[in-house]
Amino acid sequence: MFTSAFRLTRIILTVLRFRLDALIPFDKLPWYLRYTLGLLCQLGRKRAIQNRGERLRLALESLGPIFVKFGQILSTRRDLLDDDIADELAKLQDKVPAFSGKTAQAIIERDLKAPVSELFAEFSATPLASASIAQVHTATLHSGEEVVVKVIRPNIEKTIRQDIGLLYTLAHFIAKSSSDGRRLRPVEVVTDYEYTILDELDLAKEAANTGLLQRNFTDSELLYVPQVYWDYCQKNVMVMERISGIPVADIKALNAAGTNMKCLAERGVEIFFTQVFSHSFFHADMHPGNIFVDVSNPEKPKYIAIDCAIMGSLDDADKNYLARNLLAFFQRDYRLVAELHVESGWVPKETPVHAFESAIRSVCEPMFAKPLKDISFGQVLIGLFQTARRFNMEVQPQLVLLEKTLLNIEGLGRQLYPDLDLWVTAKPFLERWMHQQVGPKRLFEEVRKQAPEWAGQMPKIPNLIFSALSQASHQEERMQSHTAAIVELSKEVKKTRRGLPFRLLGLVSLGTAWLTINPEALKHLQSADMLSISLFIVGLYLLILKP
């Protein structure tokens, strides 16, 4: 708690220091917060920097990697930000202040257990790029391949855990403060983000992710993933092929190379939906600093993806639900959208579907009045999110990465090609995928997947048949034996009924049944001992019947 309070104090001081009051919507705050914050922000008036975007960038850099990540995400949303802020935040992609090359060399030698001179023919102590979690150095292997060496920042885990602790404190406060806060499920969202960002600190996992993504796009015309050199990969160090390409955010260079920007933007959307729906494994950190373009064939440009630390996946149920929902949006079937939300449990089961449908229509229909190319999927989500508050819709943590990535893709696509029609690009892909889920090809795939298991059971079938027939034969013999026992018991009852206390005999019969019934058989009555059940019935009969 002390650490979180200290960190919160630092955030407040950073806001004051960099005069971020210019970004606060004071007119929407309660009067007491408006005047308090206004008074406090006077302390930062002497700050020389006048550009609000630069102030925000420097503030995020000073607060550390979690806040830099936040700025990276924002930088792709030019439809939501003014140009001066977006331009400054774009500098966060690969221009975070570097740490010492000597420190990087020491980390490499510690993890790979050999001097740099033995590991590489050449190694540059000057970093090629520096990001929030790690930085990259160029090198050459003794075999001649040019590579890049990625090194985790020293002591970064401590800072991240402090920030995560603060986020948990804020999340618990939000969850307890209002029903609106509980609906957002902030604690679950922070937990999901904690898992994601801590994974970024393990470069061995990133190497494995890179290898899988590379296999998924082997010989693909859409995306190239660099080769990993496994002998040089540990938790804090990763070595991979050095790629050459134009940064996807360098629009001038792409245009100068004669790049088909429409094709490039549409391919980005296709790559995203291929990863999500075909591979169930998608790059969830696709900001411009992690994407390059191979323009060797400018009419059919090819993406190059790096930094596979943050990857996402969806199960079949989530994919099916997502595809149906998106198609319903495309087709303006608001009734189906409302029903899907109720069916999936995203809104309470008692939600009146017709009222929810009407609310969704009121948000989406005005947007569809514009040309499709001018519709922002991000704006649709924001509108729906605001509308759903009335219906207690909960945030789904498992889809946070997907939503963030989709927003990044749309922002990047519009930056490359302002006339990008995300709806038209995605709709045929989704329809094709849905058809595959219910068509004969899907049935054949399921049969193919189950074939090895079925084949493994085939040799057992004769024994299973013989065993079943034997059990049936034994069961028939036992039934005959039980029937004879019941007849004998009835005779004995008739003989002793007048000489023994009637109810005592009933209790003895019930007790005998209780002791002889196998407790496990009670769970499966079809295999219970028939004699025990018979004794139970006879005892019950004797208790009820009058002498």
- Say if CB 425 and CB 269 are below 8 A apart: yes
- Say if CB 236 and CB 155 are below 8 A apart: no
Q: Is 150 annotated as a binding residue?
A: yes
Gyration radius of the chain's alpha carbons: 33
Q: Is 136 annotated as a binding residue?
A: yes
> CA-to-CA distance for 218 and 533, rounded, in angstroms?
65
Token pair in block for residue 413: 């696509």
Q: Is 134 annotated as a binding residue?
A: yes
Sign of CA dihedral 61, 64, 65, 66: negative
Q: Of 94, 111, 163, 285, which is the active-site residue?
A: 285
The helix/strand/coil state of 132 is coil
Token pair in block for residue 88: 């400054």
Q: Is 128 annotated as a binding residue?
A: yes
Instruction: Please give the C-alpha separations between residue 72 and each of 46, 275, 468, in angstroms, as whole numbers.
Output: 28, 22, 65
Best CA proximity match to 360, nearest among 370, 349, 347, 371: 347
Strands of the 246-247 sheet, one edge to the other: 223-224, 302-305, 291-294, 246-247
- Phi and psi torsions of 128, nearest 5°: -75, -40
Please provide the DSSP assignment of 21-80 as one string. GGGS-GGGS-HHHHHHHHHHHGGGTT-----HHHHHHHHHHHH-HHHHHHHHHHHT-TTT
> CA-to-CA distance for 238 and 148, rounded, in angstroms?
8
Q: Is 131 annotated as a binding residue?
A: yes
Q: Is 133 annotated as a binding residue?
A: yes
- Phi and psi torsions of 140, nearest 5°: -130, 130
Q: Is 129 annotated as a binding residue?
A: yes
Residue found under tokens 């221009």: 95
- What number of other Cβ atoms are within 10 A of residue 458's Cβ? 8
Q: Is 104 annotated as a binding residue?
A: no
Active site residue 285: yes
Sign of CA dihedral 337, 339, 344, 345: positive
The helix/strand/coil state of 303 is strand
- Say if CB 226 and CB 306 are below 8 A apart: yes
- Say if CB 403 and CB 381 are below 8 A apart: yes
Q: Is 135 annotated as a binding residue?
A: yes
The binding site for ATP comprises 128-136, 150
Active site residues: 285
The binding site comprises 128-136, 150
